């Protein structure tokens, strides 16, 4: 088989890229190693920046989102027994939307299959070859028991943090930057109406807690836990008791309900530079990971592929490689802005350890960001997403 762009991975990055290319008349094939069922039900974050909503709408994948997403205009920060509001929309003119990542993935898959766009699930043994500048890139894989080979002009590595594309880049090309955090998130989905109109980010001596939601009947909540925490030790009863402790506020009640999903998410910051090698371009989690506190992973993946698609369109239409050559530099500027913000939100809100000095600094920062217009503006513009970064 031959195509123009071979895309590894049908997460948000791979699917959005394929659609952007399709709209520009560029062919692609997406290879995904999981089943359609699996990728459509994988529970991930669910907060979209205005720019991501606009992008999904532009590419024709915004219809259900427009109907079902919850539009939010700010966030609550809770600490020291008080809950303060950051009025993000009032400050920035932009809003955020709550819509589960797997819903976006469902919409994009339906769209792709709706025009018979090539998208193969349950593909095994994916390997990328010969992608150096003068090579002839190809992807080999097994599908339905048969070995296959896909020849392409370029390869897009959209295969997430544990994918095969990044490790295929020759030694010495990439430099990685990373930070591990001494905690993880325990997340639940619960069948109960959210107890809040907008998200609550709570800093508590026991650790961070987040009250998010998916709809008017489903809540999403998170607790900071130890990095090696075992989910088996967390009965639903224990989870609710801990959530009650961390969100406690006079005059407010956290409603409980049946837990329909629970899991532990590790926290890390990771960037690889550059995000390209020869004719292989990395996008999304394949190139970088942010801790989930700022809810930026999906938004950043969407921006990567927007930049990559523009560069590919320029190259196919003019033969000029300048934009493709500059892909990584352009994408990394935003990646590092978002890394800084995600690290800031993480260290602002989590219990970092036992050092009382750190604790006092955190409180000073929380006081500042909830009392100074300048500090609130900085948080707000990063949270809703910087449009042209
Ligand atoms: N071959 C084919 N597909 C693969 C391979 C492989 N060897 N390895 C991984 N994949 C697939 C995964 O199954 C997944 O569907 O690649 C896809 C990668 O998707 P995501 O992990 O969702 O990553 P990405 O598309 O970059 O989306 C951005 O940021 O913070 C996160 O939750 C956010 O997942 C979102 C991500
Ligand atoms: C979520 O709803 O999953 C979510 C929301 C906000 C975050 C992180 C996760 O900061």
Identify which of 220, 224, 385 to mutate to test ligand 2's pocket (most ligand atoms within 8 A of the CB).
Answer: 220
Using one digit for the tens of pLDDT, what is the confidence trace for 129-185?
Answer: 999 989 999 999 999 999 999 999 999 999 999 999 999 999 999 999 999 999 999
Distance CA 81, CA 60 (A): 44
- High-pLDDT (> 90) share of the chain, %: 98
Band (pLDDT 50/70/90 cuts) for residue 389 is confident
Pocket of ligand 2 (CB under 6 A): 45-47, 199, 210, 212, 220, 292-295
- The secondary structure of residue 285, as a DSSP letter, is G
Where is 97: in which H helix or E strand?
strand 96-98
Band (pLDDT 50/70/90 cuts) for residue 222 is very high
Point out the ligand nearest to the CA of residue 299: 1
Q: Using a 6 Å cutoff on CB, does residue 268 contact ligand 1?
A: no
Q: Using a 6 Å cutoff on CB, does residue 186 contact ligand 1?
A: no
Strand pairing report for 154-157 and 280-282: parallel
Q: Using a 6 Å cutoff on CB, does residue 107 contact ligand 1?
A: no
- Across the range 101-108, mean pLDDT stands at 97
Band (pLDDT 50/70/90 cuts) for residue 387 is confident
Contact predicate 6/155, CB 8 Å:
yes
- Across the range 251-278, mean pLDDT stands at 97
Strand pairing report for 124-129 and 70-72: unpaired
Q: Catalogue the active-site residues.
A: 72, 201, 292, 296, 383
- Nearest-CA residue for atom 3 of ligand 2: 45
- Nearest-CA residue for atom 7 of ligand 2: 295
Whether the pLDDT of residue 43 is over 90: the answer is no
For 84, counting Cβ atoms within 10 Å of its Cβ (0-12 exposed, 13-18 middle, 19+ buried), the class is middle
In the three-class reduction of DSSP (H, G, I as helix; E, B as strand; rest coil), residue 38 is classed as helix
- Across the range 289-315, mean pLDDT stands at 97
What's the CA-to-centroid distance between 123 and ligand 2, angstroms? 30
Using one digit for the tens of pLDDT, what is the confidence trace for 327-376?
Answer: 999 999 999 999 999 999 999 999 999 999 999 999 999 999 999 999 99
Q: Which residues pair with 71 in a beta bridge?
A: 97
Q: Which residues pair with 149 in a beta bridge?
A: 140
For 278-326, where are the alpha helices, taking DSSP H only?
297-318, 322-325
- Across the range 4-31, mean pLDDT stands at 98
Distance CA 221, CA 213 (A): 7
Distance CA 337, CA 20 (A): 24
Tell me what pLDDT residue 54 has. 96
Q: What is the DSSP string of 266-279?
A: EEEEEEEESSEETT
Q: For the chain, give me the number of helices (H) and strands (E)? A: 13, 20
Whether the pLDDT of residue 388 is over 80: the answer is no
Q: Using a 6 Å cutoff on CB, does residue 30 contact ligand 1?
A: no
- Nearest-CA residue for atom 9 of ligand 2: 45
- Nearest-CA residue for atom 22 of ligand 1: 11
Using one digit for the tens of pLDDT, what is the confidence trace for 164-177?
Answer: 999 999 999 999 99
Max Cα–Cα distance, the chain, nearest Å? 67
Cα three-residue angle 210-370-270, rounded to 5 degrees? 50
What's the CA-to-centroid distance between 234 and ligand 2, angstroms? 20
Question: Given strand 28-31, what is the order of strands in its sheet?
Answer: 119-120, 28-31, 5-8, 154-157, 280-282, 276-277
Point out the ligand nearest to the CA of residue 261: 2
Using one digit for the tens of pLDDT, what is the confidence trace for 304-317?
Answer: 999 999 999 999 99
**Closest ligand 1 atom to 9 CA:** 16
Long-range contacts (CB closer than 8 Å, 24 or more residues apart) made by 63-70: 63/107, 64/103, 64/107, 65/97, 65/99, 65/103, 65/104, 65/107, 68/99, 68/103, 68/215, 69/97, 69/98, 69/99, 70/97, 70/98, 70/99, 70/213, 70/215, 70/216
- The secondary structure of residue 141, as a DSSP letter, is E
């Amino acid at each position: 088989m031959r195509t123009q762009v071979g895309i590894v991975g049908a997460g948000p990055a791979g699917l959005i890229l394929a659609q952007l290319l399709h709209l520009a008349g560029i062919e692609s094939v997406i290879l995904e190693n999981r089943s359609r069922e699996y990728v459509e039900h994988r529970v991930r974050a669910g907060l979209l920046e205005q720019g991501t909503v606009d992008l999904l709408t532009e590419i024709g994948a915004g219809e259900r989102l427009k109907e079902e997403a919850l539009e939010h205009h700010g966030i609550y920060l809770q600490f020291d027994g008080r809950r303060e509001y950051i009025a993000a929309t009032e400050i920035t003119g932009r809003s955020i939307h709550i819509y589960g990542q797997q819903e976006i993935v469902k919409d994009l898959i339906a769209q792709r299959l709706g025009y018979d766009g090539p998208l193969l699930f349950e593909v095994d043994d994916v390997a990328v070859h010969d992608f150096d500048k003068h090579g002839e890139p190809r992807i080999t894989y097994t599908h339905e028991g048969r070995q296959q080979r896909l020849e392409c002009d370029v390869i897009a590595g959209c295969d997430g943090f544990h994918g095969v594309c990044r490790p295929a880049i020759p030694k010495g090309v990439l430099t990685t930057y990373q930070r591990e955090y001494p905690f993880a998130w325990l997340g639940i989905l619960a069948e109960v109406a959210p107890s809040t109109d907008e998200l609550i980010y709570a800093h508590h001596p026991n650790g961070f807690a987040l009250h998010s939601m998916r709809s008017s009947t489903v809540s999403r909540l998170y607790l900071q836990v130890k990095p090696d925490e075992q989910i088996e030790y967390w009965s639903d009863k224990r989870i609710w008791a801990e959530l009650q402790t961390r969100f406690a506020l006079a005059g407010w009640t956290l409603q409980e309900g049946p837990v329909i999903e629970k899991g532990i998410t590790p926290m890390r910051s990771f960037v690889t530079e550059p995000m390209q090698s020869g004719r292989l371009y990395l996008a999304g989690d394949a190139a970088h990971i942010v801790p989930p506190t700022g809810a930026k992973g999906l938004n950043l993946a969407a921006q990567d592929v927007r930049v990559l698609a523009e560069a590919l369109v320029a190259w196919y239409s003019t033969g000029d490689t300048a934009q493709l050559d500059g892909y990584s530099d352009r994408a990394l500027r935003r990646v590092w802005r978002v890394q800084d913000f995600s690290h800031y939100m993480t260290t602002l809100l989590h219990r970092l350890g036992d050092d009382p000095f750190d604790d006092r600094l955190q409180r000073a920062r929380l006081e500042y960001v909830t009392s100074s217009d300048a500090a609130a503006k900085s948080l707000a513009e990063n949270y809703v997403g910087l449009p042209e970064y």
